Amino acid sequence: MEQSVSTDYVLEMINIDKRFQGVHALKSCSINLKRGEVLALVGENGAGKSTIMKVLTGIYNADSGEIFYFGEKANFRSPRDAQNAGISIVHQELNLMGHLNVAQNIFIGRESKGFFLDERGLEKRTRELFERMNISSIDPRSRVMDLTVGKQQIVEIAKAISYDAKVIVFDEPTATLTDTETDVLFKLIDELKQKDVSMIYISHRMDEIKQISDRITVLRDGEFVGTRDTKDVDIDEIIQMMIGRVTYEQPKETSHVPADAEVVLKIEGLSSKDVDNVSFELRKGEILGFAGLMGAGRTEVARLIFGADKKTSGDIYINGKKTDIRSPGDAVRSGIGYLSEDRKRYGCVLGMRVADNIVLASLSNYVKGLFLSEKNISKDSEEYKEKIDIRTPSVNQMLKNLSGGNQQKTIIAKWLIKNCDILIFDEPTRGIDVGAKSEIYKLMNSLVNEGKSIIMISSELPEIFRMSDRILVMSSGTQTATLPIEEADQHTVMKHAVQYSHVVGSE
């Protein structure tokens, strides 16, 4: 069997090349991984990080290049090949079956043999696994579809670990995790390192990468840029390697909204089982930032405004007129667009074209007799592709082939073509790299300059301070403060974010 040129690495991927229709995703790209280390793999969306990992794990077959695994040449033709060799991946896009319970998802295909499924045995194995991971918040019998996105991510991680892997790939594992859940993951990673498990860690969170990794490998446009020891490199150098420039995001010092700007949205006493008496105003051309810890009720407020959840009390006024919003359709007709924190589940259809996704909320405008006008769909989607710089070879490209940042832009285009004047952006840059964040920020600023108004929910305080004209802080379903940007600082926001320990509706 052919031997690797180096014995220093458990894994070497050398000159990997991969093309898709219209896209040269990997261009002679190389990475290597040492025993018992955490290698951070970074780059902008579309840099090739997920693609090269899918080649490693047998999801894609490389067009050319070589893989050496523990010194021997390897060729993983399927995910099962990679798993059998001891390589597991925790996908950024959750790969779970919602109708099955947690235990069934983790051990699917590895159930006890016999005429009947040994449910108790699966649950016992899952509890033992969770004990090793120090996880007590998830019941192995719970249906996956009933779990929060963060808990689903933990199940995905547990599934990968259950294979007793020698190499584990983490693709944006903390994007949906709380701080507590992230701490659990990091402790687990430390334990795995002590057992000589090697890990590749893909993330856009620079502070996380500095904390958890031993080395950092940078990709750009499908090519290898360089590898640095984490202890010897600073964040600015890594960002410059990623995008070819240093990007600084300075906090906003003063509001850009005139004092006499008209109120486009007024909320009075909005309540539900998760939200208690929230009231605020949104002015024309304003970005109102919603800050708070995970579970503070920010998304719940957004869903009440958009009619996705039922309110128990409260009033909504749009342009001074009391408006009864009972469904998302009512909200859209009233000029409200909503970009969900879970864009893959609620915001777009990955299996459809970019053009189809752009016109998704406005299909009635394209009906011509019994058919849709493909000519008008192409014309308008092309116009918005150019307007907000959606980077795709064609609007006929499948949305799943675009990077996360360009998928996000496509969803924004959907609401712009619907001519929504009030936009709710829930975690607009989650899972998006540094360069794409800057583009989303520029797009948001251009929208408010055109007279649109934005509610921006974000768990990243630097983003809140960078974009907001005012900041509304929530804690445990309760509105605890509304601060002008001139009076807001991190200490003040956090003080209000932890003000209450109770949860609305709990005993």
Nearest residue to 88 via CA among 32, 9, 161, 38: 161
One-letter amino acid of 446: S
Q: What sign does the CA torsion over 307, 444, 381, 396 have? A: negative
Mean pLDDT of 130-158: 83
Lowest mean pLDDT among 122-131, 264-273, 388-397, 493-502: 493-502
- The residue among 70 and 430 whose pLDDT is bigger is 70
What per-residue confidence (pLDDT) applies to 66? 95
Query: So where are the chain's domains?
Result: 11-243, 263-497
CATH architecture of the domain with range 11-243: 3-Layer(aba) Sandwich (3.40)
Cα(461)–Cα(140) distance, rounded to whole angstroms? Answer: 34
Q: Which residues pair with 17 in a beta bridge?
A: 64
Cα(196)–Cα(120) distance, rounded to whole angstroms? Answer: 32
What per-residue confidence (pLDDT) applies to 250? 72
Which DSSP helix (H) or strand (E) runs through 383? helix 374-387
Q: pLDDT grade, residue 92 (50/70/90)?
A: low
Cα(82)–Cα(59) distance, rounded to whole angstroms? Answer: 9
26: which DSSP letter? E
Cα(397)–Cα(423) distance, rounded to whole angstroms? Answer: 26
One-letter amino acid of 193: K
Residue 420 has pLDDT above 60, yes or no: yes
Q: pLDDT grade, residue 499 (50/70/90)?
A: low
- The residue among 153 and 485 whose pLDDT is bigger is 485
Token pair for 414: 């959907």
pLDDT tens across 377-411, in order? 889 888 888 887 888 888 888 888 887 778 888 88
Q: Give the percent of the chain with pLDDT over 70.
A: 91
Which DSSP helix (H) or strand (E) runs through 201? strand 198-202
Q: pLDDT grade, residue 437 (50/70/90)?
A: confident
- The residue among 50 and 68 whose pLDDT is bigger is 68
C-alpha distance from residue 126 to each of 107, 122, 123, 161, 191 (Å)? 8, 6, 5, 11, 19
Mean pLDDT of 75-99: 85
Q: pLDDT grade, residue 2 (50/70/90)?
A: low
What per-residue confidence (pLDDT) applies to 343? 67
Lowest mean pLDDT among 120-134, 247-261, 408-422, 492-506: 492-506
What per-residue confidence (pLDDT) applies to 137? 80
pLDDT tens across 288-338, in order? 999 987 678 999 999 999 999 999 999 999 999 999 999 999 999 999 999
Token pair for 142: 């719970």
C-alpha distance from residue 376 to each of 333, 368, 415, 420 (Å)? 21, 10, 17, 20
What per-residue confidence (pLDDT) applies to 501? 38
Residue 275 has pLDDT above 80, yes or no: yes
- The residue among 403 and 483 whose pLDDT is bigger is 483
pLDDT tens across 200-253, in order? 999 877 888 999 999 999 998 899 999 999 999 988 788 788 876 545 457 788
Q: What sign does the CA torsion over 435, 439, 442, 444 have? A: negative
Nearest residue to 41 via CA among 30, 33, 49: 49
Nearest residue to 46 via CA among 83, 72, 20: 20
Cα(99)–Cα(143) distance, rounded to whole angstroms? Answer: 6
Which residues are within 8 A (CB) of 437 and not within 5 positions of it... i.e. 6 or more apart?
249, 405, 429, 463
Residue 75 has pLDDT above 60, yes or no: yes
Q: pLDDT grade, residue 111 (50/70/90)?
A: low
Q: pLDDT grade, residue 503 (50/70/90)?
A: very low
What per-residue confidence (pLDDT) applies to 500? 55
Mean pLDDT of 428-450: 82
**E-state strands within 34-120:** 38-42, 64-69, 72-74, 87-90
Residue 61 has pLDDT above 70, yes or no: yes
Lowest mean pLDDT among 63-72, 107-116, 460-469: 107-116
Token pair for 380: 């308008």
Indicate the pTM of the whole model: 0.57
Q: pLDDT grade, residue 87 (50/70/90)?
A: very high
CATH of 263-497, one of 3.40.50.300, 3.90.940.20, 3.30.70.2390, 3.40.228.10: 3.40.50.300
At residue 164, the 3 state secondary structure works out as coil
3-state SS record for 312-328: CEEEEEECCEECCCCCH
State CA 125 to chain mean position distance.
30
Q: pLDDT grade, residue 95 (50/70/90)?
A: confident
Nearest residue to 216 via CA among 432, 449, 205, 250: 205
pLDDT tens across 334-361, in order? 999 998 877 666 667 888 898 988 888 7
203, 172 Cβ separation under 8 angstroms: yes
Token pair for 202: 């893909």
One-letter amino acid of 284: K
